Structure 1
């Protein structure tokens, strides 16, 4: 059953009453929450949905929250292992959430993407909104410092969430595009990271080469310009260092819209550890070593509050 938007507020309020599975801490008692990685679930749209939370030992009440969305065929556990966000959280003191898409995919509400989640019209906006509400309550998160990033299908979902909600102070899609309709999104800081040799989600737009779902989005520079217009930003300032080109627009209300282009990089999370078996099985590209995407995104997030 698809959860309609009018019920989203009810679901979100109900999510505030949930505690971690097997945890006896009272909602809102951040000091009682366990540190390290824990598994949780909540019901959304009649489906039990799973997510993981990493709370570093240094996290305090009023910490920031970073939501990390895995790519197609991935999972929350895979994203937790692959992208280095736990280590970044240990350094910076924020909490990280790793939700699971249904059948390892997200329904991005556009472009026939992706898999069973799209075919069953799963309301992933409702699920992730409820998850954010639950974690914000349980861990004493500062609601003005809730951030979102994602890889590939997860990055596309990040754009959908940015178009449908006002939860996030800043978003950072990686190797992604926008497929959902988005005529009047709320102003938000955006950092997009993309390789010019990405054949799954093409930098120049058009249908990508993907064995399961053809991703057909706008050219990435055009998408960057759309978000500049949404935020009322001036023309960007562009700098190049080796294969990395950064186009940064400083916008009203201390917002920012930035595109980082990595020349020759494919469909991957820059700076991640190599996983040769996954690369062989799924035909994915090795991570670029020209940029540490996690550290770059974390620094971007610290500069922007809602």
Structure 2
């Protein structure tokens, strides 16, 4: 008997399944909301120029400035003008999901009196090659885009530090030109299948490059005055690069761009998903980066575009190996424009050949910025200098210590003194310096405790670890150095310091943090030769002897915080560090010390791409220290990696192919719960949903917020 309800339910399920399947395929090409598309025009050089702007929903409610992606159409074909580029590329939909402003300018028609065509009367850009009608007739598209950017700042809350340019074919070639001639305004470019015409010898300001091309694209990638592809009859007055200037690189746009940015040699070419060859150059000047994807077997197309719109007989149909829009945005969102001011500071300091002279120059720059523009501005400069120079990054904790010392003067003289969450940079050295200044220049313990209460109130939600590190700072600052009678007497200073810690700490965890600060200070006094101490007072055979002499409750914070002494004794040799730790008689103390020292070991190694030697040392350690060592290496990224992006380094380390499966497990088990101490709950939830967290760990990431504080410094 026919059952109408049963068959209806079956049909409904089939329709639902088909709908889900359709949506999964068409997700990146959902319909564009017409109300989000706005059209603008203005006149420049006597020509009316226009562009479309896709404004995401809730744009008006934005609490901060939006990134801008300028998307340049190709010369003819299915991406031949602004509207077609918006319809086919997926940038408008990406804008809606990721909340940035997508802008689609129009080039110049060969015959402005006739409608645009896929072939024939096409719209083109003056890309520097000399091939286009626009260039041969004196159209200045660089000036057009420059004025367009000005127009955006008037009409929208656009972020001046996050202006990006991408484009296809002729539009990609124009992106190259804009990256050179508007380098002071653009943070990064992502050309797809373009020509780099007449490359200059250098960029005035760093601009990162992400280039996508097909291995079967027959169009040349470099156009110069000697290249027959360049049919220009116009004189190019830009500074030209001689062949000798690029003698160390092959003639391709990526290598040329890398040399203009002063990048080191490329990483080894690798295959992504077996069909995409990748090459990367980093670190480059001003924290810039150069990356290329070459798609095997692909011709002159925009990968991931709406394939049904490509005309029959194209070089190669667009394919689904990658989506150019997705990968370009992933690249863009990790790059911001380094400020002219930070570049100026860094350039001024780079004239010094001696490392110590550079450090003094950077210290002055940070101090001047703090006094002139405030604490947050000083940390912004700090972040940019960190990204610009490996030597600066290697001393980052000391620089935050300096900022803390200088900031105390603002605190004691300014009732409206405000501490931003960024003071957490580079393992909270700010609190060390601040408390040392407070307790040695007339402040008292009660004032220190009130300051930590202020930090607890203001920053606990944004950076849960900050209040605890403030107590570590109290221990670091109150280590008796203001009483000259105690100089050179470690036992007396420790006794006095721990007494104050017991008085000031209101929880067991904060007592631990405060005590760890005392021992941290003792270690630094020895290595720096301060307050009557020197390395001559350390037993080179047993540099941790002082810790074995402490009462049991203070042995752990002592062992874990004599880091600088151990590093000095071993000359930074991690294998020797491991040997010293293996001599600690108490297994628990040895495990904690191994974790601390492995993390400290990463302070000067984070710029490396290969950590296999350190991993090998962990594997050769005694069995009890093996996993604490691996976990410590990963934690070092949270302490010292790129400010505000520390989690990326840690999670990428945990995902290394060179790690064994049990090592990766131990690594993720350490890092994922620890995220909740360095970032707000909202930020942790965002991190959980990124590709950095493997699917198998996402549920743990969403739910494993540790309630009990982890001892970390």
Q: Distance in 1 between matches of 2:311 and 2:250?
A: 24
Give the superposition deviation at 1:220: 8.6
2:81 aligned residue (75, 83, 86): 75
8 Å CA contact retained: 2:73, 2:170: yes
Shift of 1:119: 2.0
Q: How does 1:16-55 map to 2 (within 5 A)?
A: 36-55=36-55
Which segment drifts farther, 93-102 or 163-172? 163-172
Distance 1:204 1:131, change over 3 A: closer
In structure 2, the residue matched to 1:5 is none
CA distance in 2, matches of 1:77, 1:180: 30
Kept in 2: contact 1:106–1:113 (CA 8 A): no
Aligned residue in 1 for 2:193:
175
Aligned-partner SS, 2:143: helix
Give runs of aligned pairs for residues 10-159 of structure 1, distance below 5 A.
36-59=36-59, 60=62, 61-73=64-76, 74-103=80-109, 104-109=123-128, 111-114=129-132, 116-159=133-176
On the 8 A contact 2:197/2:222 being kept in 1, the answer is no
The verdict on how the C-alpha distance between 1:207 and 1:271 changes in structure 2, with shifts beyond 3 A counting, is: farther
Residues 151-230 of structure 1: pairs in structure 2 closer than 5 A: 151-165=168-182, 166-185=184-203, 186-199=205-218, 201-202=219-220, 222-230=252-260
Q: Does 2:292 align with 1:273?
A: no
Cα deviation for residue 203 of structure 1 reads 5.8
Could you say which structure has the higher strand fraction? Answer: 1
Do 1:192 and 1:260's aligned partners in 2 also have CA atoms closer than 8 Å? yes
TM-fit CA distance, 1:130: 0.5
CA gap of 1:180–1:77, structure 2 versus 1, over 3 A, is farther
Partner of 1:20: none
Indicate conservation of the 8 Å contact 1:190/1:256, yes or no: yes
> Residue 296 of structure 1 corresponds to which residue in structure 2?
327
Is the 8 Å Cα contact of residues 168 and 302 (structure 2) preserved in structure 1? yes
Taking the aligned partners of 2:228 and 2:291, their CA distance within structure 1 comes to: 24
Matched, 1:248 2:280: yes
Structure 1: state its 5+ residue gaps: 1-33, 209-217
Larger Rg: 2
Give the structure with the larger helix fraction.
2
Question: Is the contact between residue 174 and residue 194 of structure 1 (CA under 8 Å) also seen in structure 2?
Answer: yes
Quick one: structure 1 residues 284 and 54, their matched pair in 2 at CA, closer, same or farther if it must change by over 3 Å? farther
Q: Cα RMSD over matched residues?
A: 2.2
Give, in angstroms, the shift of residue 58 of structure 1. 3.9
Q: 1:57 to 1:247 in 2, by over 3 A?
A: same
CA distance 1:283–1:244, change in 2 (3 Å): closer
Using CA pairs under 8 Å that are at least 6 residues apart, name the structure with larger relative contact order, 1 or 2.
1
- Identify which range, 175-184 or 78-87, moves more after superposition: 175-184
| Counterpart contact for 1:35–1:56, Cα < 8 Å | no
